[in-house]
Amino acid sequence: MDQSPPLKPISLEGIPAALEKAHRYRMLNQPQQAESICLDVLAAEPGNQQAVATLLLALTDQFSRALQPAFDRAMGLVERLTDAYERAYFEGLVCERRGKAHFRSGSPMAGGMAHAWVERAMRLFETAETLRPAGDDDAVLRWNSCARLLHAHPEIRPIPADDREPMLE
């Protein structure tokens, strides 16, 4: 039987300061602390878009430790974003960071896996670019960053068709 104490709620007035702390913890490379704060904010205000976005980023910061669970949770959060531009942009960010996590893993298929995720990210950034508010070049900047990654690392390339696992019938 779980004897964990119940969580204490934060006040609505404390949300802006809590979100500032979450950003600070992300910058200090403490994504679990940022995640915890965002969960507290979302418990107090479930539709808080800044908390959703910050939590999503905190989860992507954890890809090197627990890729699949963090990825699944981050993708679930994309659906909670209410703006079409934000959904496309943040889904692209999640995919880009997954691609980079695969690349850094050094596994035998790292380059091919990274390529697939980075290409998916670039398509999402292109979608976001068409939806962006005037003067918001974030999607263009991310797309260019992905393109530079591919140019700088020729080992990030598609998996040849003959190296792919055959589908079971």
Q: What number is the average pLDDT over the span 137-153?
A: 98
Q: What number is the average pLDDT over the span 40-51?
A: 98
When pLDDT is cut at 50, 70 and 90, the band that residue 164 belongs to is low
Picking from 45, 70, 95, the residue at the C-terminal end of a domain is 70
Percent of the chain with pLDDT over 70: 94
Q: Between these two residues, 161 and 163, which has the higher pLDDT value?
A: 161
When pLDDT is cut at 50, 70 and 90, the band that residue 142 belongs to is very high
Q: Is 3 within the bounds of a domain?
A: no
Q: What number is the average pLDDT over the span 70-95?
A: 97
Residue 162 has pLDDT above 70, yes or no: no
- Are residue 44 and residue 92 in the same domain, yes or no? no
Distance CA 148, CA 140 (A): 12
Query: Would you call 47 helix, strand, or coil by DSSP?
Result: coil
> In this structure, which amino acid lies at residue 15?
I
User: What is the residue-averaged pLDDT of the chain?
Assistant: 94
- Are residue 125 and residue 151 in the same domain, yes or no? yes
Q: How many helices and strands, by DSSP H and E, does the chain display?
A: 7, 0
What's the pLDDT at 161? 76
What's the pLDDT at 1? 58
What's the pLDDT at 158? 93
Cβ neighbors of 26 (< 8 A, separation 6 or more) are 34, 54, 57, 58, 61
Picking from 42, 70, 98, the residue at the C-terminal end of a domain is 70
Q: Is 116 within the bounds of a domain?
A: yes
- Are residue 57 and residue 89 in the same domain, yes or no? no
Residue 79 has pLDDT above 80, yes or no: yes
What's the pLDDT at 159? 85
Say how far residue 67 (Cα) sits from the centre of its chain.
11
Q: Around 25, how many Cα atoms within 13 Å sit in the side-chain half-sphere?
A: 21
Q: Is 132 within the bounds of a domain?
A: yes
- Are residue 95 and residue 154 in the same domain, yes or no? yes
Instruction: Residue 35: give the domain boundaries.
Output: 10-70
Distance CA 151, CA 155 (A): 10
Tokens 């190296």 appear where?
163
Q: Residues for the chain: how many in total? A: 169
pTM assigned to the model: 0.90
- Are residue 110 and residue 144 in the same domain, yes or no? yes
Structure tokens at 168: 């079971």
Residue 169 has pLDDT above 60, yes or no: no
Of 59, 129, 141, nearest to 88 (Cα)? Answer: 129
How many independent structural domains does the chain possess?
A: 2
When pLDDT is cut at 50, 70 and 90, the band that residue 106 belongs to is confident
Tokens 């949770």 appear where?
73
